[in-house]
Amino acid sequence: MPYQDKGHLEIEDRGAVLIVRVDGGPHQLFGLDIANKLHKLVTRVDHDPNVRAVVFTGAHPGRFVSHAAVRWLQEEGDAGPRLGRRGAAAAVRVAKYVDRSRVLSALMSRTPMRGALQLEHIHRAFLRMNSSGVLFVAALNGSTLGLGAEFAWACDLRVMADGDFFIGQPEILLGIIPGGGGTQRLTRLIGTHRSLAAILEGKPFTPEEALANGAVDKIVPQDKVVAQAVELAEHFGKRSKASVAAAKRSVYFGGSMSLEEGLHVERAEFFVQVKTPNGQDGMLSYMKTTDVNGELPLYEPDTYAQALASGSVHTPRSTKGR
């Protein structure tokens, strides 16, 4: 029986924040179905000015996502000829361009390139999460490995359940390596060396280890994970959506380039933001308050504290979609 899956995403709409429960069947696996639904969801929320943050959690009681559907990887790996590194690099590059064209994608979807295309599709979903003005929070209600961990690294913040759980990249123990970005995003999250050692050993982190090395941001009791993640989502989600997107792109993409190229990315993003009505309003209001009070608002402790709570230094009003 060829690989089939029936994973789905349960979406709970709480206005500015969506809670998305990943249901990967009895083994809580991340397969093609979830990949496709995730891609659609991420595209939709990125464009919807009303959605400011998304919390991902697992529908399974003790697992966020177990790992990828291994049958899926195995079958796609088995399709088509064995490749050397050069051939593989070429296939991956072709997939990148094909994935952007509906016609080509349809044409290639029944060829041995299908696996490379499906992989590309997941990568594009994760990259869109990194470039989006939506804040993504992983609510790790239990353990997660492999593609589940990579999904968590692609989020902006991570809250993990305390207890006998783990998160990591065990691929080497199956004779493969991470393929959903783990070697790249974990490396940028906790540093080259700790990432390399963890990936080479295949040993996952306990919640305490993950907190200590920065792989997760908070540990809370399991029954508080979603509530804590929603709190973070609401807090960060109050910032201007366009500014969040610009900051995320500057840090994730610019921050991984050479210093001079990265500075170029930042300046372009900054230049757009200072010209938006929202940026202009923010600066004009700041100057006006300075003139009225005789002090810079950010140097008045109460004003700064209120700005952090409301997401904006000027008097709260609707900030939807900005």
Using CB under 8 A as the binding rule, the residues of this chain from 151 to 170 that contact a copy of itself are 156-157, 170
Token pair recorded at residue 269: 């993003």
Which residues, numbered 71-100, are part of the site for a copy of itself (CB under 8 A)? 71, 73-74, 76-78, 80, 82-85, 88-89, 91-93, 96
Say what the alpha-carbon torsion angle 63, 67, 72, 75 is, to the nearest 10 degrees. Answer: -140
Q: How far is the CB of 25 from a copy of itself (least distance, A)?
A: 12
Starting from the edge strand earliest in sequence, which strands make up the sheet with 53-58, in order?
A: 8-14, 17-23, 53-58, 135-140, 157-161, 218-220
Q: Is 302 in the site for a copy of itself (CB under 8 A)?
A: no
Pick the binder of a copy of itself from 107, 212, 227, 296 (CB under 8 A).
296
Output 92 or 104, the one with its CB closest to a copy of itself.
92
Q: How far is the CB of 285 from a copy of itself (least distance, A)?
A: 8
Q: Is 31 in the site for a copy of itself (CB under 8 A)?
A: no
Which residues, numbered 219-238, are part of the site for a copy of itself (CB under 8 A)? 235-236
Helix (H) or strand (E) holding 201: helix 192-201
Using CB under 8 A as the binding criterion, the count of chain residues that bind a copy of itself stands at 124
Q: Is 132 in the site for a copy of itself (CB under 8 A)?
A: no
Q: b vs e for 155-173, b when ≥16 Cβ sit within 10 Å of the residue's Cβ?
A: bbbbbbbbeebbbbbbbee
Task: Answer for the pair 138, 211: CB distance below 8 angstroms, yes or no.
Answer: no
Q: Is 212 in the site for a copy of itself (CB under 8 A)?
A: no
Give the binding range for a copy of itself (CB under 8 A) out of 12-20, 40-48, 218-226, 249-257: 249-257
Pick the binder of a copy of itself from 102, 110, 193, 317 (CB under 8 A).
193
Closest CA to 276 of 133, 90, 178, 162: 133
